[in-house]
């Protein structure tokens, strides 16, 4: 019997990302001077650790790119991609659940809402592929059985796991 995983969509706390980025420059920015860019992605476990993998909105280039060890096209790229190289460890205190129970009335927000719903639906339908790909990259990285060019694109998973716990202890105090 194949087990299925039900993903949730979350936003990551920008202060947490800033903290991690002070140790690993590959941690993605989720804000800039113009606007707060929501760092939206899915949560899953690798071993005992929760990981967040960011989603990217669809771009024309996604349609022609090929899936890779660190990159998975969502519905052939028409719904964006999931970037495993940018996945980061998280605790529940580092993210907030995105409420998809209410359809926004604003046109722009409603379009984004439907994109998120479609991404989540596709990811849940292909959950085992997503989890397998994430774990595979993670294991290759930790065992140093990875091309140097790919390793250089990835966050330092083991270092960030340490810093995740450190951040939690700093914030608790």
Residue-wise pLDDT tens digits, 100-138: 999 999 999 999 999 999 999 999 999 999 999 999 999
Residue 46 falls inside a structural domain: yes
Residue 58 falls inside a structural domain: yes
Domain of 120 in residue numbering reads as 9-172
Residue 45 falls inside a structural domain: yes
Helix and strand totals (H; E) in the chain: 6, 7
Alpha helices (H) in 4-156, listed in sequence order: 14-21, 60-64, 107-125, 127-142, 148-151
Q: How far apart are CA 45 and CA 22, in angstroms?
A: 24
Residue 1 falls inside a structural domain: no
Residue 3 falls inside a structural domain: no
Q: What is the pLDDT of residue 38?
A: 60
Bridge partner residues of 50 (DSSP): 45, 90
Residue 2 falls inside a structural domain: no
Number of domains in the chain: 1
**CATH code, domain with 48:** 3.10.129.130
Q: What is the pLDDT of residue 31?
A: 56
Give the residue ranges of the chain where pLDDT is below 70.
1-4, 30-38, 173
* Residues 6+ away with beta carbon under 8 Å from 156: 23, 24, 26
Q: What is the pLDDT of residue 39?
A: 72
Q: Which of 117, 173, 127, 140 is nearest to 68 (CA)?
A: 140
């Amino acid at each position: 019997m194949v087990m299925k995983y039900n993903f949730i969509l979350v936003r990551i706390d920008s202060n947490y990302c800033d903290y991690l980025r002070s140790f690993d420059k590959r941690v993605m920015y989720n804000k800039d001077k113009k606007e707060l860019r929501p760092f939206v992605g899915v949560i899953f476990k690798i071993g005992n650790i929760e990981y967040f993998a960011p989603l990217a909105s669809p771009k024309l280039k996604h349609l022609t790119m090929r899936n890779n060890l660190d990159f998975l096209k969502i519905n052939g790229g028409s719904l964006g991609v999931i970037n495993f190289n940018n996945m980061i460890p998280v605790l529940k205190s580092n993210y907030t659940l995105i409420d998809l129970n209410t359809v926004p009335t604003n046109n722009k927000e409603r379009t984004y809402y439907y994109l998120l719903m479609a991404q989540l639906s596709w990811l849940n339908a292909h959950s085992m592929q997503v989890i397998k790909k994430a774990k595979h990259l993670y294991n290759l990285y930790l065992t140093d059985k990875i091309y140097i060019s790919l390793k250089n694109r990835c966050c330092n998973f083991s270092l960030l796991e340490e810093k995740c716990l450190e951040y939690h202890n700093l914030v608790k105090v």
